[in-house]
Amino acid sequence: MSESLLNVERYPLIIKPDTHRVLFRPFHLGNERMVLIVNRLLTLTEEEVEQELAQVFQEFRHRHQAVEAYLDRRAKEILSFFNLPKELSPLHQLLVGAYFTHEYALEAAALFNPSIVWHPDQTNLPEGCRRFIISLRATGEGHISSIVFRSGFVDQNCGIWLDGHSRYVTPPNSYTEAHLTLDVFKKKIHELGLDDGFASSIASRLPEEVSYSDVYPVVKEDPNYPSHRVAGDGILALMKANYEVHYSDDRALSERILFPYSPNEMNGMEDARFVEFMEDDGSKVYYATYTAYNGRVIFPQLLETRDFMDFRVKTMAGDVVKNKGMALFPRKINGKYVMLGRQDGENIYLMETDNLYFWETSQLLLAPKYPWEFVQLGNCGSPIETPEGWLVLSHGVGAMRKYCIGVFLLDLDNPQKVLARLPYPILTPEGEEREGYVPNVVYTCGAVIHADRLLIPYAMSDYSTGFATIAMEDLMEALRKEIALGKNAEVAEFQEK
């Protein structure tokens, strides 16, 4: 059976890609052409520079914020490679920056795979309303994916209201280095296959907390680096993958973007699964797993933020940190961090650890069982805590590579125990939802509960994003019926083998 037996309310509200939203990006042409272009620009008189720059401003100033600041920064990057006979005027420098900058339409191809969390600011709202943040995977030219945000609120009747999004997208105020413990550094080096004598020698000269600035001189100044360049460059790429992003609060949420920064994610930051996590002291922090892609290999990464202005990006390590679709539980269980994963690309696994960045073991939780999920099974975001268990949305792939969304229930104290699993999906692609970049797909990276309804933002065929809700009582009653029928005996038996 591949049709839902539950009453699903779909909303007319749809988030579609906006091709007007463009981002400044460096325009790379190679060193030889860079020299030729700069030399040509040096032949211009100041009057010619003013004329050319005036045209640039006329065409592009209304499309971006802080145009001069970006072009000035870009010019300094380019001119740092030159030993000019005299300093260029400020306008001349801006024009140099313009020739090595281009616009990137970050969501021209798609805006999809949403996750949703409650906004850290819940002030000044009518009774019964809650403000939310949605993360979205924006895909543009070259199929490069980035992470963008929208906000809104849901009212007492589960009506959804989206805030207007800005026409502008602005790069972060700054990027800074993040730190890794030496243990995580060593483990990651091992996983990348770089743990030869050269890497061990590098590690032996590092402090207990390491950053890119710590590692770079040790690698580059090592006399063996030229003969171990692959290992050395791999070590530096690892450290580049750990960084922090900073925005000021004068930038609207919809203007902020997490665009690929490290070498490991140059071809995309995919499918962020945000979760509001409760710390041991009762404080809250937002984590998100995402998939970094360099064009050849994927790397599971972890994002951390408390305010959606400052973000920390770190690599995870361990034997089971592999493949896509990891989703963190919203609190520790029995003193341990718990995560869902899909290590083999087909089944859902449960992972536990004492260290958020170390994941060494996993066990099989669910395998494909019903025709609508025969191809593969995976999670659709972090589990949601309910009085009756951890509610988990899943995705299944069936005939004709059709993606549907299903649901199962885990024990609160022992999430290794599957309490119930619906034999049919709760959401399947219908009508216009079937048409898009990748047809016949509905998919989500997270959901929330409000006003006794499960609110699911979901991607429609890898192009746009819609919304649906299901009454929680109907959903839980369907799961209770599965428990009463003993439908999960087979799952429990399979787990014990």
150 shares its domain with 208:
no
The pLDDT value recorded for residue 297 is 84
Instruction: Work out the number of other CB atoms within 10 angstroms of the CB of residue 165.
Output: 19
The pLDDT value recorded for residue 4 is 65
Please give the Cα distance from 148 to 198 (Å, whole number): 39
What CA–CA distances, in Å, run from 268 to 16, 144, 304, 352? 20, 5, 18, 27
Judging by beta carbons within 10 Å of its beta carbon (0-12, 13-18, 19+), is residue 485 exposed, middle or buried?
exposed
120 shares its domain with 265:
yes
pLDDT of 172 higher than 70: yes
What is the full DSSP assignment across 339-368? EEE-TTSSSEEEEEESSTTB--EEEEEE--
330 shares its domain with 406:
yes
110 shares its domain with 100:
no
Asked whether residue 46 is assigned to any structural domain, the reply reads yes
99 shares its domain with 226:
no
291 shares its domain with 307:
yes
Q: pLDDT tens across 334-346, in order?
A: 999 999 999 999 9
Expressed as residue numbers, the domain containing 214 is 179-240
Q: Identify whether the C-beta of residue 187 lies closer than 8 Å to the C-beta of residue 163.
A: no
Q: pLDDT tens across 1-42, in order?
A: 555 689 999 999 999 999 999 999 999 999 999 999 999 999
86 shares its domain with 122:
no
Residue environment code for 69-93, b if the CB has 16+ CB neighbours within 10 A, otherwise e: ebbeebbeebbeeeeeeeebeeebb
420 shares its domain with 407:
yes
Please give the Cα distance from 459 to 457 (Å, whole number): 7
Where is the domain boundary, 105, 139, 154? 105
Model confidence, pTM: 0.94
Looking at residues 309-326, what average pLDDT do you find? 93
Asked whether residue 1 is assigned to any structural domain, the reply reads no
pLDDT of 380 higher than 70: yes
Residue 191 banded pLDDT, cuts 50, 70, 90 = confident
347 shares its domain with 421:
yes
Q: pLDDT tens across 255-271, in order?
A: 999 999 999 999 999 99
Asked whether residue 124 is assigned to any structural domain, the reply reads yes
Where is the domain boundary, 58, 87, 105? 105
Where is the domain boundary, 105, 140, 157? 105
What CA–CA distances, in Å, run from 137 to 161, 242, 305? 20, 20, 18
Q: Identify whether the C-beta of residue 273 lies closer than 8 Å to the C-beta of residue 327.
A: yes
Judging by beta carbons within 10 Å of its beta carbon (0-12, 13-18, 19+), is residue 279 exposed, middle or buried?
exposed
232 shares its domain with 273:
no
Looking at residues 313-319, what average pLDDT do you find? 92
Residue 496 banded pLDDT, cuts 50, 70, 90 = very low
Asked whether residue 262 is assigned to any structural domain, the reply reads yes
Q: pLDDT tens across 119-170, in order?
A: 999 999 999 999 999 999 999 999 999 999 999 999 999 999 999 999 999 9
Q: pLDDT tens across 71-116, in order?
A: 999 999 999 999 887 889 999 999 999 999 999 999 999 999 999 9
**Maximum alpha-carbon separation in the chain:** 84
The pLDDT value recorded for residue 3 is 58
pLDDT of 348 higher than 70: yes
Q: Where are the beta strands (DSSP E) in 185-305?
A: 209-210, 243-246, 257-258, 269-278, 284-293, 298-305
390 shares its domain with 442:
yes
Averaged pLDDT of the chain: 95
Residues with Cβ within 8 Å of 23's Cβ and at least 6 positions away in sequence, in order, are 103, 104, 106, 169, 170, 171, 257, 259
Asked whether residue 426 is assigned to any structural domain, the reply reads yes
The pLDDT value recorded for residue 193 is 85
Give the count of domains, the chain.
3
The pLDDT value recorded for residue 145 is 98
Residue 298 banded pLDDT, cuts 50, 70, 90 = confident
pLDDT of 420 higher than 70: yes
Tokens linked to 189: 């080096």
pLDDT of 491 higher than 80: no
Please give the Cα distance from 285 to 487 (Å, whole number): 37
Q: Identify whether the C-beta of residue 312 lies closer than 8 Å to the C-beta of residue 244.
A: yes
Q: pLDDT tens across 382-391, in order?
A: 999 999 999 9
Asked whether residue 2 is assigned to any structural domain, the reply reads no
Residue 486 banded pLDDT, cuts 50, 70, 90 = confident
Please give the Cα distance from 319 to 476 (Å, whole number): 35
Residues with Cβ within 8 Å of 288's Cβ and at least 6 positions away in sequence, in order, are 115, 135, 272, 273, 274, 275, 302, 303, 304
Asked whether residue 245 is assigned to any structural domain, the reply reads no
129 shares its domain with 277:
yes
CATH number at residue 445: 2.115.10.20
Asked whether residue 36 is assigned to any structural domain, the reply reads yes
What is the full DSSP assignment across 53-115? HHHHHHHHGGG-SSHHHHHHHHHHHHHTT---SSPPPHHHHHHHHHHTEEEEETTSSEEEEEE
The pLDDT value recorded for residue 2 is 56
DSSP structural state of residue 206: S
pLDDT of 493 higher than 80: no
The pLDDT value recorded for residue 162 is 98
